[in-house]
Amino acid sequence: MKNVATRSLDTSSLLSNLLIVCAVLMAAAPIVLGDRLVLIVSAVFTQGGLLLQDFSAYLQRLVG
C-alpha cells in the first residue's frame, strides 16, 4: 500500500503569485476602466474624506 504524500502549502510561493496577479491587475486597470477610473478614484477620495471627518468627530467626543 502506497503512502500518499500530502503537499504542504507553500505560503511564500502563494503570496508571490498573488502579488504578481495584483500587479498585473493594477497595471491593466487604466486600460480596462478608461474614463471611469477617474470617477472611481474621486469617489474613493470623497468617501475617505467623509470617513476621516467621522473619525475626527468620534475622537473629539471621546476625548471631550
Which residue do the cell numbers 502506497 mark? 2
19-60 pLDDT tens trace: 999 999 989 888 888 888 888 889 999 999 999 999 999 999
Give the structural domain span for 53. 34-64
pLDDT of 2 above 90: no
| C-alpha to C-alpha distance for 15 and 21, rounded to whole angstroms | 10
The pLDDT confidence band at residue 9, using thresholds 50, 70 and 90, is: low
Q: Side-chain half-sphere of 19: how many Cα atoms within 13 Å?
A: 6
In a domain, 12, yes or no: no
In a domain, 6, yes or no: no
pLDDT of 4 above 60: no
In a domain, 46, yes or no: yes
Residue pair 13/20 in contact (Cβ under 8 Å)? The answer is no
Return the pLDDT at 30: 86
pLDDT of 6 above 90: no
The pTM (predicted TM-score) of the whole model is 0.47
Q: Domain tally for the chain?
A: 1
